[in-house]
């Protein structure tokens, strides 16, 4: 569990810099430059993610069961997961979905974490998915209060109706691939069956 917690501290801590220290973040970008900031950020985030994956895998070897979710919650989780991949894609494909949700990736993260939190009952699940859910809620509240971050010269993609169609179609296809096989291959758990 220590490795999982350390990974969450690194990963979510890094992703919380704009919540708790936006001025410090802006000063580092101004001092180091965008490229070095993004490079260091990416490396540190990757280390945190690897620690999360390894730590969660280790914790699953000796699970501490907190509760046994009723089978109906697995169906609820599948429904909650349905919009997750379309929302993730909509974060990069500007259109009506992006405008309506304002921050589709944060909404996807909250749905993903909630779905996994209600469908699983171990301590590792509560720590991982609970921490991610709390972070996503805090970040969404923070986004409402802080000034928009500059794209650092990156042009915004044009908003198009077809982007929504692409996000929905491709997102649902990815969802189907995960539900009907890839989730079991990657994580050892079949969501259906």
The closest of 147, 160, 189, 158 to 23, measured between CA atoms, is 147
Instruction: Provide the domain limits for residue 117.
Output: 66-193
Q: Are residues 55 and 116 in the same domain?
A: no
Measured CA to CA, the distance from residue 189 to residue 12 in angstroms comes to 25
At residue 144, the pLDDT reads 78
pLDDT above 70: residue 154 = no
Quote the mean pLDDT of the chain.
Answer: 91
Q: Are residues 89 and 14 in the same domain?
A: no
Q: Are residues 44 and 74 in the same domain?
A: no
Compute the average pLDDT of residues 35-49: 94
At residue 157, the pLDDT reads 65
Q: Are residues 56 and 146 in the same domain?
A: no
Q: Are residues 83 and 58 in the same domain?
A: no
Q: Are residues 37 and 112 in the same domain?
A: no
Last residue of a domain, one of 62, 79, 99: 62
Give, as one character, the DSSP assignment of residue 148.
P
The closest of 54, 31, 22 to 142, measured between CA atoms, is 22
At residue 150, the pLDDT reads 45
Among left, alpha and beta (phi > 0; psi -120 to 50; other), residue 124 is: alpha
Q: Are residues 23 and 81 in the same domain?
A: no
At residue 12, the pLDDT reads 95
* % of the chain residues with pLDDT over 70: 94
Q: Are residues 163 and 137 in the same domain?
A: yes
pTM, two decimals, is 0.87
Q: Are residues 6 and 25 in the same domain?
A: yes
49-63 tens-digit pLDDT: 999 999 999 999 999
Into how many domains does the chain fold? 2
Compute the average pLDDT of residues 141-155: 62
CA angle 121, 123, 129 (to 5 degrees): 75
Last residue of a domain, one of 44, 62, 80: 62
Q: Are residues 186 and 96 in the same domain?
A: yes
**191 is written with which tokens?**
């969501």
Q: Are residues 33 and 85 in the same domain?
A: no
């Amino acid at each position: 569990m220590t490795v999982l917690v350390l990974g969450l501290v690194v990963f979510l801590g890094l992703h919380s810099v704009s919540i708790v220290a936006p001025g410090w973040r802006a000063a580092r970008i101004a001092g180091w430059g965008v490229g070095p900031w993004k490079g260091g950020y990416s490396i540190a985030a990757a280390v945190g993610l690897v620690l999360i994956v390894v730590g969660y895998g280790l914790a699953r070897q000796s699970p501490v069961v907190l509760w046994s979710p009723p089978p109906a919650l697995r169906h609820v989780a599948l429904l909650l997961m349905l919009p997750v991949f379309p929302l993730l894609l909509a974060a990069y494909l500007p259109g009506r979905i992006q405008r309506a949700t304002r921050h589709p990736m944060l909404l996807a993260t909250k749905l993903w974490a909630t779905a996994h939190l209600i469908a699983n009952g171990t301590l590792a699940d509560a720590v991982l998915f609970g921490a991610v859910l709390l972070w996503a809620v805090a970040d969404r509240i923070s986004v409402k209060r802080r000034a928009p971050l500059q794209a650092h010269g990156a042009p915004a993609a044009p908003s198009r109706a077809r982007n929504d169609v692409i996000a929905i179609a491709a997102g649902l296809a990815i969802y189907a691939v995960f539900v009907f096989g890839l989730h079991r291959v990657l994580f050892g758990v079949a969501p259906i069956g």
